[in-house]
Structure 1
């Protein structure tokens, strides 16, 4: 994040505007609407400026800019057609520790002015950080279509009731749920849109009187996918935005965590091979603890909760504790990472089945059924198998799989730093030693199709091919 977004209160604050042309006029109009005490430094101005001066809405300083004019000024805007003068204003503002914006000169800005959607008191700001203001404006136009004009009236009405709601509902989480119920699951917004504010307030009062605090929350097991935040489902995003507490795994990417509601409590319960930061029993206890306190808990898991994610165990614990829960599926790494690597899991000519297994357990156990795993015309996808890659390779070859069978190891699947190493089954151990983790092993003839499907590979993927 290159800029910290803020909305500044300018009411009755002194603002200095340097410039008197049409661009400065647009800036002045917005500053006056925000209630600023505007001083305009310009020897020549447009007729609209003259109207503002005549109505004493702004003060005209018909001189050249001087750093002394910054005394007592809250912020300054330079909007002249002289880049050198704008830079002079910026440097003077920097020396005076005053916020400054120079129009169309990002390097001379300590703050930027975003594209704005104004449904006062609701405001939505879109910024490109000065890189692509036209793109920001186009995004604003798209969002404008989604927001009803009455949303500002709804916010203003809610604001008048905020104190009463706060006095009635003592806990922040209860107030949040009350407002969510009012805005999303009642006719409140419809009444406001139709202009019937009396009916809207009556409904608000009824719901406030009838509101019952929750003594028990719920848990949502959310599949975070293999890493790329764009692969989250809509339901998963909604759950992350609604959660009061989020327990997340080590494999959940930073991009996905950025989508969690800002004020939600985040708790890492990550487990990586050889480093169990939090034991499963502790995770189970945390889920029950927070839900019993009436919190909405999101259990955020890499991939899919029910694919090697121990989601079934956690659901059983919640069921035994009488806590309501639901599961939101996610794209498993076996599906997402292979797709991003350009490797189809099945193919009419090469593989009629696919098996998903984990490789971190004792592979010598007969329960693995090596004869089944070594079968031809199938794809084998192995999670957490890099540490046991040598044993996997030895057993598969010993049970009939050709030593020349194509293999791939996909590291950091679906992320910009994804890498794909390919080779043959007898080379699997050496490939695994070089692979970054987390990694996914793919074994089968479908791996050879990766070269033919190169057009499908993400531009960020890097391939290293083992020597034959």
Structure 2
């Protein structure tokens, strides 16, 4: 992020615009929505700029910018439609200590103006750091259509009621009050009685929440998916938005954690196979401790919490403490991995079942029904099998699996740095080692990427001919 988004207080402060043509007028239409004192410096302003000055909307100085004109200005815009004059004006304004924007020149600007959705006092700023202005406008149009017409009025009335709402304790209870007002009670009251009915609605709602019993803590076991935040369910996003505490696995990506509420406490409870780990009993105690204090705890697990996530142990701990819980399933990495190679986990006349197995358990390398797995046509998704690959290879071949059985290793499934390794069982551990697979990897036993499979069929047909 090269530009840090902020909302600058400009009430009563100077904003200076150098230029009086169409480019300047376009900026003025936006700047005049603020409560700043606008000064325009231009030798030959167009009629529309003159008209704004005559109405007292801005101060107009009819000459070229001079040293000192931008003194004490909070912001400065160079909008002369002339590169030479804009360069000169920008240099003068910077010498006066103003933050400068050279219109349509990202490289020479100290700040940029985002696309803005205005539901005063609700303001949404959309920026693309100059990379895609058309995209920013498209997002703005979409938000304009989605946001309710009464949003600004609700925010204005809510602002005047904030002191009264401080009777509610800070945190979850106060958030619940405002959420109900903005999501349900406020829009309903406005539709039924207009702005006049909003204060009465707030007063009734406050009494309801003051008398309401304090909510007990709750634990949501949430699947974070394989890493791509776009693969999160809507329910998972809502849980992250509402969480007071998020306790997450090592494999949960920063992009997913970014979706948690800003004020939430984020706790890394990472566990690593054959490596340093937080003990399961410590994780259980953390969950229970925070939920017992009335927090909404999201236990965020990579993939799906019901697949090799030790979910039952954590549920037992929560149940034992008398704490309510819910489970929000996620996309397991096997689904993301097989989709990334254009295959399916099951296929008619190939395999009527698929096995989800783990490469290791609490006692070390995990044992399975290797004879059944080594039978022709079997497909398995092997989790946590990277470090156990030589053990898995040995067990399968010992029980009759052909050395040329196709195996695909997907590292960082669904993420931007995803890698796909096409292997055969005979070379599996060596291929993983040679590729220096360091990220989380899932092994698809019995499957090749669709493109590789098609190529193999073509070669086979050529050989037959």
Q: TM-score, normalised by structure 2?
A: 0.92
The 1:22/1:364 distance shift into structure 2, 3 A limit, reads: closer
The CA distance in 1 between the partners of 2:290 and 2:449, in whole Å, is: 48
Cross-structure match for 2:81: 81
* Counterpart in the other structure of 1:63: 63
Shift of 1:257: 1.2
Quote the residue 2:187 is aligned against.
189
Instruction: Give yes or no for the alignment of 1:216 onto 2:207.
Output: no
Counting only pairs closer than 5 Å after superposition, residues 30-429 of structure 1 correspond to structure 2 as: 30-166=30-166, 168-184=167-183, 186-211=184-209, 212=212, 214-361=214-361, 368-429=368-429
Q: 1:357 touches 1:381 (CA, 8 Å); kept in 2?
A: yes
The unaligned stretches of length 5 or more in structure 1 are: 455-468
Contact 2:68-2:96 at 8 Å conserved across structures: no
Q: What's the offset of the Cα at 1:70?
A: 2.1
SS in 2 for 1:350: coil
Structure 2 residue runs without a partner (length 5+): 456-465
The 5 Å alignment of 1:17-36 reads 17-36=17-36
Distance in 2 (alpha carbons) for counterparts of 1:183 and 1:56: 37
Q: Distance in 2 between matches of 1:87 and 1:310?
A: 63
Whether contact under 8 Å (2:341, 2:450) holds in the other structure is: no
For 2:274 and 2:390, locate their aligned partners in 1 and report how far apart those are by CA, in whole Å. 18
Instruction: Determine the structure 1 residue equivalent to 2:448.
Output: 447
Distance, in Å, in 2 between the alignment partners of 1:141 and 1:435 is 43
Cα–Cα, structure 1 residues 209 and 448, in superposed 2: closer, same or farther, change >3 Å?
closer
CA RMSD of aligned residues (A): 1.9
> What whole-Å deviation, never above 9, does each CA across 1:64-115 have from its counterpart, x for those lacking one?
2233222211110111111232233333444444211121111121111111
Q: CA deviation at 1:230?
A: 1.0
Alignment length, in residue pairs? Answer: 450
In structure 2, do the counterparts of structure 1 residues 453 and 110 end up closer, same or farther at CA, with 3 Å as the change threshold?
farther
| Structure 1 Cα separation of the partners of residues 52 and 404 of structure 2 | 82
TM-score in terms of structure 1 length: 0.91
Shift of 1:394: 1.1
Q: CA deviation at 1:363?
A: 7.2
Secondary structure of the structure 2 residue equivalent to 1:68: coil
Distance 1:136 1:305 in 2: 36
Write the distance in 2 (CA, Å) between the matches of 1:309 and 1:316.
Answer: 13
Distance 1:203 1:71 in 2: 47
Q: Could you tell me how far apart the structure 2 residues matched to 1:401 and 1:421 are?
A: 20
- SS of the residue corresponding to residue 318 of structure 1 reads helix
Determine the C-alpha separation between the residues in 2 that align with 1:116 and 1:287: 41
